[in-house]
Amino acid sequence: MADQEKKPTKEQQIAVQIDPQKGDGVYSNLMMISHRKEEFILDFMFLQPQRATEGRAVATLRSRVITAPEHAKRILRALQENVARYESMYGVIQEATDIPKVMH
């Protein structure tokens, strides 16, 4: 069978509207991911440098994103591509070593 020609995909432009209260974004230095068959749940948190009185680390939920598995895979691919571009420009990103390991 001869190679099939791939039709060029037409890029779509999307007008993005930003709610002024959300436009500033939120800072997150910790993320937990959970999933079930129908969705992925991405919890973005801020791990505070101060510890609770019992000595435990304290993290505050900043934002929760719930998305379909198909979109989660697109997010993963987009992050991989962007990290690769970033590292080609600025060098290898070293992973944080002072963040507690969280089981999920």
Length of the chain: 104
**Residues 50-59: pLDDT tens digits?**
777 787 888 9
Mean pLDDT for 8-27 is 85
Q: Please say if the pLDDT value at position 1 is more than 60.
A: no
Distance CA 70, CA 58 (A): 32
Question: Residues 22-56, buried b or exposed e (16+ Cβ, 10 A)?
Answer: eeeeeebebeeeeeeeeebebbbbbbeeeeeeeee
- The domains of the chain are located at 30-90
Question: Model's pTM, two decimal places?
Answer: 0.74
Q: Please say if the pLDDT value at position 10 is more than 80.
A: no
**Residues 34-52: pLDDT tens digits?**
999 999 999 999 988 877 7
Record the tokens describing residue 52, joined without a space: 């609770």
Q: Which ranges in 1-104 belong to alpha helices (H)?
A: 69-90
Residue, of 11 and 93, whose pLDDT is higher:
93
**Residues 46-94: pLDDT tens digits?**
988 877 778 788 899 999 999 999 999 999 999 999 999 999 999 999 9
